[in-house]
Amino acid sequence: METSSSATSLSQLTSGEVHVIVGPMFAGKTTALLRRIQCETDKGRSVAVIKSNKDTRYGLDSIVTHDGAKLPCWALPDLLSFSEKLGTEAYEKLDVIGIDEAQFFGDLYDFCCKAADHDGKTVIVAGLDGDYLRKRFGSVLDIIPLADTVTKLTARCELCGKRAFFTLRKTDDTQTELIGGADVYMPVCRRHYVSGQVVIEATRSVLEKQKVLCDSYVEATSC
Ligand SMILES: [Zn+2]
């Protein structure tokens, strides 16, 4: 009896999975996530999708891809409170948890460990691997060692149509988390990332010089 119960708990313990989908903006990460979630639903598995409540571009109760596909979801500030919010019983029945915009969750690593290692869930994570400076974004890279599979998607370079690996910010804002769409960001290839950064840096320094001139002019005239 005890053998069979420990065998059951062992099978629950080892049945979890972590799949990671990364890439620049406009690479179809959310679409790929929704496709995998749909696939799991078709297999009869119980699914839930979580996204960050920081991204309010499309409303909070649904997840929408750039091409308009829609799925109901939970918009939360963190992941570890999810089971409590959903209710323990409902959480236990869940087979698959999708996480979109994963770069915004500080507790991503701990959540994936708990959900996959201990709770036997299949966790499918989509997020940006790098920010507009091509530096790590949030904890997405930290969960690569936990993953069964890692998929890096690419977009199309907005300037030449070649494969795009990076996200270029078109404005001179410098905070890491600046939420926006095609008005603020564009996908670019390596060559256009490098030349684009040069143009943006040059623009920023010209604007800063003008601001200094302007400020000193205001000061001079107000004296
Ligand atoms: Zn290009």
Class of domain 1-153: alpha beta
pLDDT (tens place) for every residue of the chain, 223 residues total: 444 444 445 544 558 999 999 999 999 999 999 999 988 988 989 999 999 888 666 555 776 655 566 667 899 999 999 999 999 999 999 999 999 999 999 999 999 999 999 999 999 999 999 999 999 999 999 999 999 999 999 999 999 999 999 999 988 788 888 888 888 899 999 999 999 988 888 887 787 777 676 666 666 665 4
Closest CA to 26 of 183, 154, 122, 136: 154
The beta-strand segments (E) located in 53-205 are 62-64, 70-72, 74-76, 96-100, 122-128, 149-152, 155-156, 163-164, 166-169, 185-188
- pTM (two decimals): 0.81
Pick the CATH number of 154-223 from 3.40.50.300, 3.40.50.720, 2.40.220.10, 3.30.60.20: 3.30.60.20
Query: Annotated catalytic residue: which of 40, 92, 101, 177?
Result: 101
CB 193 within 8 A of CB 134: yes
| Displacement of CA 171 from its chain's centroid (Å) | 21
Query: How confident is the model at residue 3, as a pLDDT?
Result: 45
Looking from the CA of 191 toward its CB, the CA atoms found within 13 Å total 8
CA of 163 to the centre of ligand 1 (A): 8
The domain spans of the chain are 1-153, 154-223
User: CB–CB of 95/101 below 8 Å?
Assistant: no
CB atoms within 10 A of CB 206: 10
Residue 91 annotated as binding? no
| 8 Cα to the center of ligand 1, angstroms | 53
The rounded Å distance from CA 191 to ligand 1 centre is: 6
For ligand 1, an ion, list residues with CB under 5 A: 157, 159-160, 189, 192
Catalytic: 208?
no
